[in-house]
Every structure is written in structure tokens, then in C-alpha cells.
Amino acid sequence: MRRSLLRAAGLLVAGLVGEPAMAWLLYPDGERSQRVIVEIERSFGETVPLKALPPPYHSIVQEAQGVDGLSFRWRYGPHAQGLAFVRVDGEGDGAIAFRFAAERVLAGERLGAALVLVGRDGAALHSFYARADLDAQRQAGDRQSAVIELSRPLDWWRQVDGLTVFFMTYHPIQKLDDDAVWTAMRTAVHRITKGEGGESKALARP
């Protein structure tokens, strides 16, 4: 296992023949070398099929790697303004985390991100929404994060066949209140969810 990870570290691999253009990057976490990161490089709003990843990384359940052994990550935003990642252990306990770091600060601007779990039949199983509200006191590069936990039976998690990540920005001129922002985020992912599946949301904090 260790040898295969070392061979895979830093290797950029093209998608499967016949699949939409995509790529993924597999490497050890710089902070915790025992943890492996599968970083997805694909246009936002496109579903990444887990079958496009090599075994044992083609399952969202991380029984073989352990709870801290593997995470799926996506960088999002035109200026790498954030990071999203998901981990699910062998007990069915999942954690979906969103991190935001604005390169510029506009008071009243709101950054949003959503991650949708897609089942084998293409239907949405669950959607996760996170939002970071910027204000005049925040400086460029300040980070905010939100973690959403979800526990489901392992059979439920094994239905997850694809993952879709969205990134959104809402400007002060739009004059959206809190409820309107969450509604706008739900509308942004409707193309994938079609109003189906469960939902969880969280406000990011410093």
C-alpha cells in the first residue's frame, strides 16, 4: 500500500476513455503524510463519477484507508478562494468541510459553496450548502470554514456514485437577505438535484 501511494504521489492522470474530460491528482497530505488526498480537477457544476478514480479510491466510504486516511478535495472559485472536502468512515459517519479565503474583501459580499452527492440512478441523495459572509473587518486571505456532519448507514453511502461541487458569489447590490441567499444556492444546484434528496447547511466562521 505504501509503495503504491508513493508511486501515485504527484501523478496527474487523465480520465477514462469515453468519459468526459477530467483529471485527478493523488498525493499525501503535506501536514499529515499518512493521509492521502484525491484532488478533483474539473469544471464546477459537473458531476465527478467515482468510478473514474482508481481502486480503492472509487468509493466514498473509506474502510480500507481509515477515517483519516483519505479525503476527496476540490478547489473552487476563479481565484482559488476555497476548498471543499469529504470523508466517510467505516461506521457511516461523514464530514463535509468547506473553507473560504477571499483574495479581496468587499463588505456585504457572500461566498457560497455546495456539494451534491449523486446516486447510481443519477438522482441527488443529499446536498450540503455552506456560506461565508464578508465584512469590512475581514482582510484579504482571512479564512472561514464550515463543517457539516452526516451519519447514514453504510449501504446508503455506498449508493453514492458521483460528487458535484458548486461555487457561488452574491454581491451586495443584489440585496439578498439570509433566506434569499440559501434559496439562491438551492436554485443554483437545481439542475443536478431537481429538488430531490436531503439538505444540510452551515454558516462558515473564522
pLDDT at 137 (0 to 100):
59
Q: For the chain, give every domain's residue range.
A: 45-59+75-203
pLDDT digits (tens, 9 = 90+) for 31-62: 666 667 777 766 566 777 888 777 777 788 87
In this prediction, residue 79 has a pLDDT band, given cuts at 50, 70 and 90, of low
Sign for the pseudo-dihedral over CA of 52, 53, 55, 61 = negative
Alpha helices in 1-144 (DSSP H): 2-8
Is the model's pLDDT at 9 over the cut of 60?
Answer: no
C-alpha grid cell, residue 174:
443584489
Q: Considering only CA atoms, which of 48, 26, 50 is closest in space to residue 38?
A: 26
pTM over 0.85: no
pLDDT at 1 (0 to 100):
41
Provide mean pLDDT across the span 127-156.
Answer: 84
9 in Cβ contact with 27 (< 8 Å): yes
% of the chain exceeding 70 in pLDDT? 67
pLDDT digits (tens, 9 = 90+) for 183-196: 999 999 999 999 99
Kindly report the CATH class assigned to 45-59+75-203: mainly beta
